A and B are shown apart, each in its own frame.
Chain A
Amino acid sequence: MQSLKISLKVKEQILSKENMKLDRNTYKFTDKGNLGNIALVVGIVGLAASAVGYIQDSHQFYFSYLVAFFFWISVALGALFFNLLHHLTRASWSTAIRKLTESMMSVIPFMFVLIIPVLLGMHELYHWTHEDVVATDLVLQQKAPYLNIPFFIIRVVFYFAVWSILTFALIKNSARQDIKHEDSILARMRKYSAPGMMLFAFTLTFASFDWLMSLEPHWFSTIFGVYIFCGVFISMLAFTIIMVRYQNGQGAFDGIVTVEHRHTLGKLLFAFTIMWAYMGFSQYLLIWYANLPEETFWYLQRWEGSWRTLSIILPIAHFGLPFVALLPQAAKRNGNWLLMMAFYMLLMRYMDLYWIAMPTHSPEGINYSWMDISTMAGIGGIFIWLFWRKYTSGAAVPVNDPGLKVSMEYVN
């Protein structure tokens, strides 16, 4: 307990170092702070270290990279979902953090560059790409019309095209609104959001099938996409809470984003922690009950060696603990506690992805590598740098949005 207090105090000191300033009239940054520069350095160092790792052990590199890539694109995709939802429901409370979430999703087109290593490493990651394996495997032969290299690449391009078009459409209109507000701009964003939401659901589902589920091409679970979606939204919410809290700590966000917004973000985080467990359990229950070998092997694989420990810890740590820790209202309104829970949920999210992807790489047990950390730092650094660059380039809030005043005065 004492050490927790000390670590919170240290965190508080880092946060309260005022190095970021916001002009109160235009809401533009007069001092952008040093987060972007730190992130860029971490990103470059991380990617360089990972490149060294690639020479050492390319198999480990590709798996580490895939987990790290999916972890970070989750934050951006969650932000895309959040924006679509914001416009679709004409939400007013989230207007004050709209620029923040827009900046998070603005990284999506850049992630297309960062997925290239995954495409280069397909042969190491996905064993359905091995022609000799497919030749002796009846199931893979029948799945070949879907699981083949050209179609896989076409789909990757398609997913990024859909996500990027939606992102551009929303950000472009948001920029137009900054110059001069017209009601038609919000109406147009709403119009994009309805089909956008459906496209998002389809593309995210199939992207999770392609990138994660096809690591074990024999296994199938139709709920897998929803399960991944819950994680995607959790990542985004946790990241947003951290970013909001960071700016609150800097004094830049006072009176704009308050405890009320953080409370609501905390409620959503709590809700989607439950939804994650609901989906994860639904997937498990049906497979456990039917007990069919072509489905159960996926869980049996995660019951081998030290994976077993992780399989037991995951539901408790990803659902049980946060359920209790986020249940009371006071927990969601306490800034430091919520910040800690947001970091914790990001860690859990990483653990979940690791648990999904890594048993294919090391079936005998957990084999944690330094490349897992370096790829996370590399992609994460670049992600935060791009996000921060976009965010600090304009106003921190949509200044001309008629919902802004309502949002700033928002009470739960």
Chain B
Amino acid sequence: MKLVKKIDRVILAEFGSPKELLKAAEKMRQEGYKEFDCHSPFHIHGMDAAMGLKRSPLGYIVFAFATMGLLGALGLQYWTSAVDYPLVISGKPFFSGPAFVPVVFALTILTAAITAVVGMIAINRLPRLRHPLFSSDRFGKFSDGSFFISVESSDKKYNEAHTAGFLKTIGGQNIEILKDE
């Protein structure tokens, strides 16, 4: 998997409502398209299943890093307070479990949160400053009140005339073929 995938061309189709978008996504998946995306101003329930998206591996990555954060915080405190510079603090033992817990807790949460954000960005292959979609005038409306499906040229089934025709048959309007300039 290349970190930044080259996309030359994108076909964009507009749909009238979230329901139509959901149905269209379902048909796209049944037709065998993989490298397509749906754009909507809000979350549509059931879209993941309609598009055939798998569960994100992010949870497992976060869990691994959180565990590392937990062990790291424990190790750090053990090494600083009990090995490298042992100091009696309010009559507690050098390695005093309860006193370490808040730091362990906080560092676990911190690593988990940072991993979640950075991991999400990486899995989405962001940041991406160039994309053929940006050359469309209509596309900006996706954050406003329009619903779009975009098909990227990297898809195995991508065929400009055929794909555009298929999008039309499933209810797409204002079909645009966008090139990376």
Contact = CB atoms under 8 A, between A and B. Distances in A.
- To the question of whether A and B form a pair in one complex, the answer is yes
Interface of A: 281, 284-285, 288-289, 291, 327, 329, 411
B91 interface: yes
B98 interface: yes
B102 interface: yes
A291 B90 contact: yes
A291 B90 CA distance: 9
Interface residues of B, number: 12
B98 A291 contact: no
A285 B102 CA distance: 9
A285 B101 CA distance: 9
Contacts of A329: 55, 59
Nearest to B102: A285
B99 interface: yes
Given A291-B90, A291-B91, A285 B45 contact: no
Nearest to B60: A328
B98 A289 contact: yes
A351 B158 CA distance: 62
Contacts of A281: 98, 101
B90 A289 contact: yes
9 contacts: A285-B98, A285-B99, A285-B102, A289-B92, A289-B99, A327-B63, A329-B55, A329-B59, A411-B46
A319 to B, nearest CB: 12
A136 B59 CA distance: 60
For A289, A291, A327, A329, which residue has the most chain B Cβ atoms within 10 angstroms?
A: A289
Contacts of B55: 329
Nearest to B97: A288
A332 to B, nearest CB: 13
Contacts of A327: 63
B46 to A, nearest CB: 6
A285 B97 CA distance: 10
Contacts of B46: 411
Given A285-B99, A329-B55, 17 more contacts: A281-B98, A281-B101, A284-B98, A285-B98, A285-B101, A285-B102, A288-B98, A289-B90, A289-B92, A289-B98, A289-B99, A291-B90, A291-B91, A327-B63, A329-B59, A411-B45, A411-B46
Interface in B94-130: 98-99, 101-102
A9 B88 CA distance: 56
B155 to A, nearest CB: 27
A224 to B, nearest CB: 18
A390 B98 CA distance: 46
Interface in B28-76: 45-46, 55, 59, 63
B161 to A, nearest CB: 36
B34 to A, nearest CB: 23
A411 B49 CA distance: 11
A288 B90 CA distance: 11
Nearest to A285: B98
Contacts of B45: 411
A66 to B, nearest CB: 29
Interface in B1-48: 45-46
A149 to B, nearest CB: 38
Contacts of B90: 289, 291
A367 B99 CA distance: 33
A251 B98 CA distance: 48
B96 to A, nearest CB: 9
Nearest to A281: B101
A233 B27 CA distance: 44
Contacts of B102: 285
A281 to B, nearest CB: 6
Closest 6 CB pairs of A and B: A288-B98, A411-B45, A285-B98, A411-B46, A281-B101, A284-B98
A411 B90 CA distance: 52
Contacts of B99: 285, 289
A95 to B, nearest CB: 16
A124 B90 CA distance: 39
B166 to A, nearest CB: 27
B19 to A, nearest CB: 13
Contacts of B59: 329
A291 B89 CA distance: 13
Contacts of B101: 281, 285
A288 B102 CA distance: 14
A285 B98 CA distance: 6
Contacts of A288: 98
Nearest to B46: A411
Nearest to A327: B63
B38 to A, nearest CB: 16
